[in-house]
Each structure stands twice: as C-alpha cells, then as structure tokens.
Structure 1
C-alpha cells in the first residue's frame, strides 16, 4: 500500500479530492476564526477611541516583558512548524527532523502557556480583574482588561488545542504511523498553528503597547 492510499479516508474515492476538501475546510474554519477575532479587535478599537486616556493607563499596567517573551516563543514555534512541514514533504530521510520539530513546536506552545500563567498570577496579585476590587481608578480601564482577559483566554484555548494536535502528530511520527509526503493532517495542523501565531501578533500591540509610546 502506498502512502497516498494509506491516507485515503471514506467517503472519498480519490486522495486528490480528499486533500482539496481538507484544504477548503480548514480555510473556511480559519476565515470564521479571523471574523471572530476581527470583531473583538474592532470592538476594542471603538472603545479605545472613546477612552484613550484610560486605555493608555491600563496598557501601562501590562507586563511587556512577559508579552515580548511569549511573542518570541510563538514566532519560534512557527519556524519549527514550518520546518516540520518541509521535512515531511521531503520524504522518509527527514522523518527524525520532522518529529523533532513537531516536538519542539509542542514544547514551545507549553512554554507560552507557562509564561502566560506567571503573567496571569501577576495580574491577579495587582487586582487587574474587572470588578469591585479593580485597582485602577479609571472606570474605562476595566473595558481594557475585560478585553485582555477574554482574548488571551480564548487564544490560550486555541493554543492548547494546537498543542494536542501537534503532539498527536509527533507521536504518530515516532510510531511510524504518520505517512509523510502530502499528508493533509500535517498541512491542516500547520495552518491552524500559524493562525494562532498570527492572532497573537495582532494582540501583542493592542495589549502591551498602549501608553508606552510617549
């Protein structure tokens, strides 16, 4: 049985149609995710325009070092994911490289969550959770941190899903149960991972840079 036949799943009668359907499906999903995050960012932009001073004050309370470290981590994970995809398409001789890069990608994702956990602890200690005990005097600053907690939590959930998917592929590769060339599972997972990274690239300046330009 060829690798292409091993990848064929019901109800498809040809691998080419199955691969095209998988690509179409993931792009539709990615478009819906971009609409979701885009709506959140548009709401943020409106609120920031109406409450510029409060948002600047709130932005200065975020820890830019944690945010920058996590940005570097995710950008590096995009590199390892891209190398894993290229190694898989290059054939069996690059299986170990693929497994290593997939494992590194999952570990970098875990590192992001660990750093984010330390950041969340700091935020809680500083009473930066919207509510009765919120520490900043500006009422509109709670809008900023409402956005902060919502989008970072949703992003962390997406990243956790990505870690599970990438870890599964690494395990299948280690067990030699993951066909390499033209594998739609690997292609779809790579696209999903890059979406998570791209969303963070947009979130980073919205969360960590307000109020720090002057």
Structure 2
C-alpha cells in the first residue's frame, strides 16, 4: 500500500512537471527576438509582416540553403536557373537580366548582397533568418520593394564552445563536414571560427564510359568573427 501511494505521488509530480514544461515552452515561444527594425525587439512587437526561423530549428530540419527554407516559410520563392537565381516574395521579384538588381534584398549581418546568386550558398553557422514581406525601403534602403531577407550569423560566445557535424545527403550522394570553435581570447575580446566542406555528386548519373555525374559541387567555406568590448562594462 505504501508503494502504491508513492507511485501516485510520482505520477502527480510527473504531471505537474509536464504542465510546467508546456508553460515554459509557451513562454519560450513568446521570447523570440528579431532585429528587423535595426534593434532587438520581440517578434510580437514588430509592426512588420515577418517570418522567422532560428538556427536551431534550421539544423533540426536539416535545411542547408535558402531554397530549403522556403518549404517552411510562406510567400517566398527561390528560382534557380543556369543564368542566375531569382528571389520572389508574394510573387514579386526581378528577372535574370544582370542589369537589374533584385527586388528582394538579401542582408547577411547587415551587409547587402545585390544579386540573388548569394541564395545558392549553404547556411553556415546561422543564428536566425528573418523574411520581411512587403516594401522595406525605410529601414533597408533601395532594392527591397518586394521585401528583405535578413540573415544573422552566430556570434562569439563568452565561454568556450566547439562542435563537429557530419552530414550525408542521399539524394545527391553528398558528404559534408562542419567544425566550429568559439570562446574568449582575452578579457574583452571574443572570437569564433567556423569552416564547412561539402561535396555533392549530383542527381544525374552518367552511364557513358568515363562520364561524370552531375551537377557536381565541391565547396569550402570559412568564416571568422570577433567581438571586442569597450568601456568598463564590455558589451558586443
């Protein structure tokens, strides 16, 4: 009888813990922050039609590029072709004429990329991706008449962190490896280095003697960043 009583208490505690977890999860959803307005704000406080996906969610879903992200974000389309790549938001975009810049502006850590070809690159150590829908010229300047894609990469950390990630893409017979190291260098300086190497054999199998499969990719990407603190209370 004593054992049964203890079991009941355990079930009650587990149920309470489950409710607490749900409540905590709900609170976490409310704390999504964005920098679409050039300052850190809660997603619910931003007066802009915006879709956001965190870097953690991108990794969990196995998304490797902006084109993969369009499956989970409405009203955005990436059209790839031999001559270039076009971005569309709500059906508005630009053609393949290189004399015209995109109607959808792409920004990576605040740096503007005027050509859609940057959308072909693989994600590398991303903190979050924000898709702003509708004209954004007030905040982002020209070439954002259809909207803007604001990509924020992961920043250096206060404590030492590192990871190595291996991946294999069955549809392309592709193999990839990613490594990252982040942490403090001095009391007021932090650094982060990430590298990614991936090879794809492509989705076309060439049966001809000596023929190569395609379209093949052999890419290497490396990025370094650092944050320096100034003043009595260093902040980056």
The TM-score with structure 2 as length reference comes to: 0.21
- Whose RCO is larger (CA < 8 A, sep 6+)? 1
Higher fraction of helix: 1
Q: Which has the larger radius of gyration?
A: 2
